[in-house]
Structure 1
Amino acid sequence: MRKKIVSILVFLVVIAHTAVRSETIRISTNETELVLQTAQNGRLFQLYLGPRLKDQGDYALLTSSMKSHSNEQAWEAYPVSGTETFFEPAFAIQHNDGNIATVLQYVSHTVKQTGDVTETAITLKDALYPIQVKLYYQAFAKDNIIKSWTEISHNEKRAVNISRYASSMLYWKRAQYFLTEFSGDWAREVNMSTAPLNFGKKIIDSKLGSRADLHVSPFFTVGLGDTPHENEGQVLMGTLAWTGNFRFTFEVDNEHNLRVISGINPEASDYALDPGKVFTTPAFIFTLSNQGTGKGSRDLQRWARDFQLKDGHGDRLTLLNNWESTGFDFNEPKLDSLMEEAKYLGVDMFLLDDGWFGNKYPRHSDTQGLGDWQVTSSKLPNGVPALVKAATQAGVKFGIWIEPEMVNPKSELFEKHPDWVIMLPNRERYYYRNQLVLDLSNPAVQEHVFNVVDHLMTENPQLAYMKWDCNSPITNIYSPYLKDRQNNLYVDYVRGLYKVLDRIKAKYPNLPMMLCSGGGGRTDYEGLRYFTEFWPSDNTDPVERLFIQWGYSQFFPAKAVAAHVTSWNHDASIKFRVDAAMPYRLGFDINVKELRPKEQTFCQSAVATYNRIKNISYNGDQYRLLSPYEGNHTALMYVSETQKQAVLYAYDIYPRYAEILYPLQCQGLDPAKKYRVREINLMPGDKPAEAFNDKVYSGDYLMQVGLDVFTATKLHSRILELNAVE
């Protein structure tokens, strides 16, 4: 009798959850609309994602079309495995009783408005199991950006196993789809390539553990209906805010619908979730542009400055780094001399790179000392305080390099705490760059990593900057701390890193830090909540940097991209090398004394010029005018918000003999304004061409006719400053 009553109660619960009234939920920016609706069975479906419709009554037509579709044909907002989902699911779970199916039904939703930002939270539950999934959508109206993430929780008796936990699932139906991905390797990052998406799945993913980016970057562009273009067509541009393993799945089904699933890579990460705990996925950040990738990039860059990037509206420090001048071979007199060079150049700061620490195992190469964050007394007998003092006396700030998540086996830290290291207990170790990764899932390791920064800052309150490196992916994958929950390691490592960074940001909120990872290993928007900028690549050849910086510019603002002038590519003049770095956060990693006097004078003048114009690129709108992928030249420009100022950067890479050159048309200017055009950043003694010597043009002329900025000279560059004439 009792069993019969329980069965009736379960039946009534199911009926209560399935007999819900239809709910329509709209997530809106000023330009884009995502429309979700519940069906009669209580499940939540995507009705529409596209340009915001002008006639609000037209959304009723979308609602009525839903009623004519079966569940199999409809687009479920967060489909689960084990039911009638025939394609890649967003969510998969194994319950305590071994059942691997879940049906998520709408319960309620809330909407919270804060200024220009609207946050919608939708609660879904399973009628038979105590599982809850909350879908979050944050819409930034002015910037045309939507963030989506998920919270998963349960109240089963024991931990459940979740094997899929996407941040986002989006759908389209177009005649064609084209995916642009950003792939490469160390020193050849973010190579852009575009290919059609046809039936089946295309997966872009990373399995590096401690970083997101090496062979492929955690961002993409999809052309909806055509290949992505700079200034026309509809494109989806998306990125995952997660400093670890990611996966993007692009699946075209039998009816030519496109599903885009974004989130943490579930590979080797079936997560054991305890009762009462909440599993929060990283945010998937996307924009839908109807004016090509240029518009999408400007929206992402503006949003990042406003909401995501640390100190997004603040200044950035120009600097001189010692690495290419000294490597590991330096002492106090050498560094004091370099600080004087920094002052001579006119940069804000001197940055001391790798090699300043370790005593039992002094850091004379990358083979030892990593993890022992005590100053090498034989190199620097007076410690970091003396260096900070010397920099202050020279008239510059002082910054320092650290790599606190890593350890060399040849170190005191490894000898003392092998249990703090991610490594297999019963197999031969594999070393990436002669090092291993500390286990940040362990609170004791988190404390250690925080203390690396805290000790430096406590001892040296005037320390102005930290370059935080991360040169190794996770290898030898085993956590002594997690024991029987090894599949939680990839996720808990990144969460442990964020716990450390949250503490650092709370205690030292104004400390600028560079997100450096052997080049562009960490180029994600969650990391950039804690860092003011990132290092795009260890490759500083100016020609290669034009391509690399072009790729990163698709998703990140100029002030977040660190660009240094170095000795790479001696075929390129010092002017070309400086001009290649000028559109971004400028730095030098070069032996100034090896430059000729004329080149030294030019670099001094370039720093002064940069300080005068940098706010235009830091806070203005970027327009990519000519891609380096399209020929032998490239150009981009930045326009201030008021359209009163602009800077145009043009580069002749390797023009062909007798090549026909064409005028370059500007973008983003006010056609009604007049602009005075002047070539700047010239070598001492050089004069601008007549066309760029304070000549005045209308904005309309500059955009419709253009300027002859390119030449037939190899490795030639030109910077033009445009100022509105009142």
Structure 2
Amino acid sequence: MSIYLDRKRNVFTLRTAHTAYVMQIVCDRFPAHLYYGKNKSGLSELSYKERYINFCPGYEQFENHFLPGSAFTEYSFHGQGDYRNTALKVRIPELGTCTTEFFFKSARKFKGAHKIPSMPQCREDDETETLELTLRDELCDATLKLYYTVFPSCDVIARHAELINGRKYDIRIERIGSLQLDLPEGQYDYIGLGGGYWRERDPYRLPVGEGEHSITSRRGASSHSRNPFFMVLDHSTTEQKGNAYGFNIVYSGSHRSTIMGDETTQTRIITSLGDEDFSWLLEKGESFCTPEAVMTYSPHGIGGVSRNMHDLVRDHILPAEVTPRRSVILNSWEAFFFDINEDLMSDFARGAKDCGMDTVVMDDGWFGARVGDRAGLGDWHANPERFKNGLPSFIRSIKSLGIRFGIWIEPEMVNRDSDLYRAHPDWVLAYPDRMRTDARHQYILDFANPEVVENINAQLAETFDPEPPDYFKWDMNRNMTDAYSHALPPERQDEVPHRYMLGVYDLYSWLREHFPNAMLENCSGGGGRYDLGMMSFSHQIWASDNTNPEDRINIQYASTLGYPAATMSCHVANHSDSALNPRKLEFGYHVALGGALGYEFNVLHMPEEVRKSLREQIKEYRVYEPLILRGDLYRLLVPSSGAYAYYFAAKDGSAILLSYIQAKGDPKQTERRLRIAAADKNASYVCTQDGKTYTGEELRHGITLTACTEDEYSRIWHFVRK
């Protein structure tokens, strides 16, 4: 049992394996937050203590025992005297007010999770329990439900809110948070993942202090530049030690998280879908659910939060694997770009099989009039000049070689030069009578219109049903502008970005159900939608279009702050002929061992010695794969230190994979000691590369790496318990 309800004191406690979350209903009206941290004794005796701050109004009828402007609350409301960021703001036009008065009515717990309509959420298991708080505003006849879903084994609590309108007034939602957490006074920092295209998820750490910080995407996507994952941590917290909290949202559209420190250094965190271009008309009798947000706490520093989030994503977000092993992919894009045809791809598939890959992926250029990026998007049928025998026959011929077949799609987009656009120019997002913006010569289809989603659905079924691919790569190469739907009335145009995302999820759900045996990889110009929403449908995500191993080191390191290696598609690529020399090939491979391995080579004229190296790499990767995809990750050195060192450890301590990656040598570098704290101190391990035996205590004390001043130096150790 994870949820405990003390009805007498109105204290509710949520417990995971190592954490506890405590709240209390104050004055029988107000849900107040008491504690979130390490699971320990005495928490059941906690009670609410008022914080008095000058110029904070309160309620006279409660003798000012609850001051909204200073209280630690579970959920806050605009207009009640809370001058910090608030979780809910609604407008009731008929009353002419944005002020609401939601008071506690009831609490209940139940097994499993509350189902969020039309959106992904964490997958429940036998341990999952949910607390439901019901709050009411009697004046406007509205009900607010707050859901707390506990995932005990990974120390995560998932949260979302549901606003249910009654029969008195229409309500316009202007802001609605999925999660709010008020932290006590302290010196906090926060870590965010910034960057941009080609350098996704570049980490930064800043003090919270007094004031407001925002992690916001307005792009209609989670974005390359403002990933929704972040941490809030004590100023003294390190990778291995200290209090840290992690947050994320199971959503792929515009999002907004705020971290606000008040004048007492109390800090409020709110996570929500983006509210700047959002409002939602809630008519009488209707309801609205927020996306699900997740939070975790660890006393074991940044690494502890990461491992909790990794467990959540692997066990409760990622779809089940469709094959016993993850596909090792050879993708055609960097080999041929748009210039593909049936004969070329057949030769490419034979080369892939000879090199040891088990899946060949045909990227952009196979459909419609797609000979470049100005035409073809929206017409999801094979180009008959490039595939003279038809796509089903071609796919069967590839599978007959004993290799899996994958294909690239970009179903959310359309070119002006396409049959779909010519037939339905009103099916793109565009303001009437205004100039349209495009990017990469493409417009965004109006997925807020179910008719558009159904059309793409039907096209994909017609094209792929005769011979289904084994793998889909779903791309999305521009962000949202002109967010106007011709299918909605003017008063609902602020709903377009969210309705669009619901349409995207609808098509993803259909694709997963219609092709249950196909692996699905998500891409958005690389890592532009590297988020929990996409991960709910995709086995892995193309982490970045940047496959330069020196740059990938930081991208992959930063991605692991909030996401497991199993989500990352990591390819070895030949940016130039020099990339095929043995030293560079090994370095690129060692970097790519940070996730699911794949390749971006033209194998048609590749020397046999290189093909042999690739076969050996893939064979070795298959040995390491269970550790990479399912092991616990421990970071030892971060890239800003001059090298990246980390290891994966099996949860039972039976095997360890240690990696040291150094892009640039430093003549001043001294020897380094790589300590493997997760080693079983009572066991012995053998290193499979050289046969040497180490005790667990020796590994915990550390592997000594002599000073190396070379560029592009890397080394891997694989230890197996004897």
Structure 2 residue matching 1:300: 3-state secondary structure: helix
8 Å CA contact 1:201–1:250 kept in 2: the answer is: yes
Query: Which one of 683, 696, 699 corresponds to residue 699 of structure 1?
Result: 696
Q: Does 1:379 align with 2:364?
A: no
Deviation (angstroms), 1:613:
2.0
> Who is 1:652 aligned against?
662
Structure 1 residue matching 2:688: 3-state secondary structure: strand
In structure 1, distance between residues paired with 2:406 and 2:442: 24
In structure 2, distance between residues paired with 1:390 and 1:88: 59
Q: Does 1:220 align with 2:227?
A: no
* Change over 3 Å in CA distance of 1:30–1:662 after alignment to 2: same
Query: Which one of 466, 473, 477 corresponds to residue 471 of structure 1?
Result: 477
- Pairing 1:113-512 to 2, within 5 Å after superposition: 113-114=111-112, 115-209=126-220, 211-226=221-236, 228-311=237-320, 315-358=325-368, 362-461=369-468, 463-484=469-490, 485-512=492-519
In structure 2, distance between residues paired with 1:274 and 1:373: 38
Q: Which amino acid aligns with 1:704?
A: H
Deviation (angstroms), 1:364:
1.0
Q: Which amino acid aligns with 1:194?
A: R
Give the stretch that moved more between structures: 385-394 or 211-220: 385-394
Give the stretch that moved more between structures: 30-39 or 695-704: 30-39
8 Å CA contact 1:650–1:710 kept in 2: the answer is: no
Q: Which amino acid aligns with 1:223?
A: L
8 Å CA contact 1:405–1:470 kept in 2: the answer is: yes
Structure 1 residue matching 2:478: 3-state secondary structure: coil
* Change over 3 Å in CA distance of 1:640–1:158 after alignment to 2: same
* Change over 3 Å in CA distance of 1:376–1:550 after alignment to 2: same
In structure 2, distance between residues paired with 1:506 and 1:598: 42
Deviation (angstroms), 1:241:
0.8
Q: Which amino acid aligns with 2:305?
A: G
Q: Does 1:668 align with 2:668?
A: no
In structure 1, distance between residues paired with 2:608 and 2:616: 12
Q: Does 1:49 align with 2:32?
A: no
> Who is 1:60 aligned against?
45
Structure 1 residue matching 2:703: 3-state secondary structure: coil
In structure 1, distance between residues paired with 2:449 and 2:65: 53
> Who is 2:61 aligned against?
none
8 Å CA contact 1:305–1:312 kept in 2: the answer is: no
In structure 2, distance between residues paired with 1:41 and 1:326: 67
Deviation (angstroms), 1:287:
0.9
8 Å CA contact 2:68–2:80 kept in 1: the answer is: no
Query: Which one of 712, 715, 724 corresponds to residue 721 of structure 2?
Result: 724
In structure 1, distance between residues paired with 2:41 and 2:169: 50
Q: Which amino acid aligns with 1:31?
A: H
In structure 1, distance between residues paired with 2:670 and 2:616: 33
Deviation (angstroms), 1:331:
1.5
Structure 1 residue matching 2:669: 3-state secondary structure: coil
* Change over 3 Å in CA distance of 1:247–1:103 after alignment to 2: same
* Change over 3 Å in CA distance of 1:420–1:709 after alignment to 2: farther
In structure 1, distance between residues paired with 2:198 and 2:23: 43
Deviation (angstroms), 1:593:
4.0
Q: Which amino acid aligns with 2:417?
A: K
Give the number of aligned pairs: 684
Structure 1 residue matching 2:371: 3-state secondary structure: coil
Q: Tell me the alpha carbon deviations over residues 651-698 of structure 1, each in whole angstroms, 9 at most, x when there is no partner.
A: 12111225222222223110111111133xxxxxxxxxxxxx211111
In structure 1, distance between residues paired with 2:716 and 2:460: 39
Query: Which one of 534, 539, 563 corresponds to residue 527 of structure 1?
Result: 534
> Who is 1:708 aligned against?
705
In structure 2, distance between residues paired with 1:611 and 1:388: 26
Give the stretch that moved more between structures: 411-420 or 475-484: 475-484
Q: How does the TM-score come out when normalised to structure 2?
A: 0.92
Structure 2 residue matching 1:615: 3-state secondary structure: helix
In structure 2, distance between residues paired with 1:50 and 1:176: 16
In structure 2, distance between residues paired with 1:385 and 1:150: 46
* Change over 3 Å in CA distance of 1:221–1:504 after alignment to 2: same
Q: Which amino acid aligns with 2:104?
A: Y
- Pairing 1:599-614 to 2, within 5 Å after superposition: 599-614=610-625
> Who is 1:630 aligned against?
641
Structure 1 residue matching 2:557: 3-state secondary structure: helix
Q: Which amino acid aligns with 2:78?
A: S
In structure 2, distance between residues paired with 1:237 and 1:409: 43
Q: Structure 1: where are the runs of 5+ without partners?
A: 1-19, 680-692
Give the stretch that moved more between structures: 370-379 or 502-511: 502-511
Deviation (angstroms), 1:231:
0.6
Structure 2 residue matching 1:663: 3-state secondary structure: strand
Deviation (angstroms), 1:22:
5.3
8 Å CA contact 2:670–2:706 kept in 1: the answer is: no
> Who is 1:82 aligned against?
79
Deviation (angstroms), 1:453:
3.2
Deviation (angstroms), 1:34:
1.6
Q: Structure 2: where are the runs of 5+ without partners?
A: 1-6, 52-63, 113-125
Deviation (angstroms), 1:229:
1.8
In structure 1, distance between residues paired with 2:574 and 2:321: 30
Q: Tell me the alpha carbon deviations over residues 634-655 of structure 1, each in whole angstroms, 9 at most, x when there is no partner.
A: 1111111221111111112111
8 Å CA contact 1:370–1:408 kept in 2: the answer is: yes
Deviation (angstroms), 1:156:
3.8
Q: Tell me the alpha carbon deviations over residues 294-341 of structure 1, each in whole angstroms, 9 at most, x when there is no partner.
A: 121111111221111111696311111111111111221111110001
Give the stretch that moved more between structures: 146-155 or 69-78: 69-78
In structure 1, distance between residues paired with 2:88 and 2:657: 47
8 Å CA contact 1:168–1:284 kept in 2: the answer is: yes
Give the stretch that moved more between structures: 170-179 or 501-510: 501-510
8 Å CA contact 1:542–1:568 kept in 2: the answer is: no
Q: Which amino acid aligns with 1:324?
A: E
Q: Which amino acid aligns with 1:98?
A: G
Q: Which amino acid aligns with 1:698?
A: T
> Who is 1:110 aligned against?
108
8 Å CA contact 1:192–1:551 kept in 2: the answer is: yes
Q: Which amino acid aligns with 1:703?
A: R
Structure 1 residue matching 2:285: 3-state secondary structure: coil
* Change over 3 Å in CA distance of 1:262–1:302 after alignment to 2: same
8 Å CA contact 2:666–2:710 kept in 1: the answer is: no
Give the stretch that moved more between structures: 343-352 or 38-47: 38-47
8 Å CA contact 1:349–1:398 kept in 2: the answer is: yes
In structure 2, distance between residues paired with 1:708 and 1:602: 25
Structure 1 residue matching 2:154: 3-state secondary structure: coil
In structure 1, distance between residues paired with 2:351 and 2:72: 61
In structure 1, distance between residues paired with 2:326 and 2:293: 27
8 Å CA contact 2:359–2:405 kept in 1: the answer is: yes
In structure 2, distance between residues paired with 1:68 and 1:84: 14
Give the stretch that moved more between structures: 316-325 or 149-158: 149-158
Q: Percent identity?
A: 28
8 Å CA contact 1:234–1:289 kept in 2: the answer is: yes
Q: How does the TM-score come out when normalised to structure 1?
A: 0.91
8 Å CA contact 2:569–2:595 kept in 1: the answer is: yes
In structure 2, distance between residues paired with 1:109 and 1:50: 22
Deviation (angstroms), 1:711:
2.8
Q: Which amino acid aligns with 1:482?
A: L
